[in-house]
Amino acid sequence: MASFTIPHHIITGNNILSEASPIIKTMGRKAFIVTGKHVAKSDMMQKLKDLLKLENINFEVFDGITGEPTDTMITNGVELYKKSGCDFVIGIGGGSPLDSAKAISAMTVNDGSISDYNGKEITGDIPPIVAIPTTAGTGSEATKFTIITDEENDIKMLLKGDVLIPQLAIVDAGFTLSAPKSVTAATGLDALTHAVEAYTSKKATPMTDVLSVSAVKLIMKYLPIAYNQPDNLQSREQMSIASLQAGICINNSSVTLVHGMSRPIGALFHVPHGMSNAMLLKTCLEFAMPGVYEKFANLAYETNAASKSDSKEAAAQKFVDSLHKICDICEIPTLRQYGIDKDEYYQKIDKMAEDAVASGSPANTVKPVSVDDCKQLYKKLYT
């Protein structure tokens, strides 16, 4: 029997922050706002502060999330949370602040370091979480996952627990208009990866299938527009909805090989998460297609990448080829073009392959995936 979990409340639309007031008021008396340096100085942050002041909710701002979150950042956030007397958490920004908000909330009531929970289910009566994404891609506002880098061991940890699902997700497409082109591309392709992997995962369900297909169709249509026309609000709205749908999907049917192999590249070579996913898409999904040809073919039919006259195998390949095309439109570099040194890369293939399989995500792929498979795929990726 499959379960299906989503945030307690989801509010979507333009200029809808004020609509969240009745729910935010129930969260607590002092908010701990987790964000990055850029968003901390933005109009979006000012709107949030004004709303909290209007509702007589005090707040403390922690803007120590620089780049992708690390265990050190989480420790610093937890220390400030406890000193400031807050009783709930608001994450505002891209996936990094949202993931950090979850991790900080969890570690306010759990002992030890966040790294102690790698591979374990996070539990506890943690402070309520409000998630306000300013990018369309990570879907973190809808998931029970958080990705935090263990700096000592050079591992991007996939941490999970139902308690990490935000109580409130506020998805305002207007907040994504200021995202740079590179961020629009990386986060949009991250959402696309979520949707495709959730649809072709062993854990896929009829509920996630519907949302996955919808997300893929929206992203294939609107991501090129959002990338080339940053001020196009319609494309931003559709991408925000697609990102939310894809986030709900991975929350329930998880990700597969691409994410498993992407995280070690991000941890060791500091490639942004969405970009590393995009670099791997074609190679990893071609490997994963056997056993799931029908689903890949259906995505091709739904996105007009193939016609019904194509065989399932041919249609599946055409869909994967169309993913490569959208990566080209979004100017995604290869590993070599990104500047990753070949010798250093090859020296770390064994560790990356072991870390990828240990993350658990490749095991959700219908086709069995071994450490040796990952090693060969890593080699193929560079060449």
In terms of phi and psi (left: phi > 0; alpha: psi -120 to 50; beta: otherwise), the region of 246 is alpha
Which residues share a beta bridge with 148?
Answer: 157
* Residue reference for tokens 């019904």: 308
Residues 131-156 as b/e (b if ≥16 CB within 10 A, e otherwise) read bbbbbbbbbbbbbbbbbbbbeeeebb
> Measuring CA to CA, how many Å separate 195 from each of 4, 5, 128, 311, 351?
16, 16, 27, 23, 27
Which residues share a beta bridge with 338?
Answer: none
Beta-carbon contacts of 302 under 8 Å, excluding residues fewer than 6 positions away, are 213, 216, 217
Beta-carbon contacts of 160 under 8 Å, excluding residues fewer than 6 positions away, are 121, 122, 144, 145, 146
What three-state secondary structure class fits 100?
helix
Express each pLDDT in 311-344 by its tens digit.
Answer: 999 999 999 999 999 999 999 999 999 999 999 9
**H or E element in which residue 93 lies:** strand 88-93
Express each pLDDT in 296-305 by its tens digit.
Answer: 999 999 999 9
Express each pLDDT in 87-131 by its tens digit.
Answer: 999 999 999 999 999 999 999 999 999 999 998 899 999 999 999
Q: Residue 291: its pLDDT value, please?
A: 87
Enter the pTM of the model. 0.95
Express each pLDDT in 264-289 by its tens digit.
Answer: 999 999 999 999 999 999 999 999 99
- What DSSP designation does 121 have? B
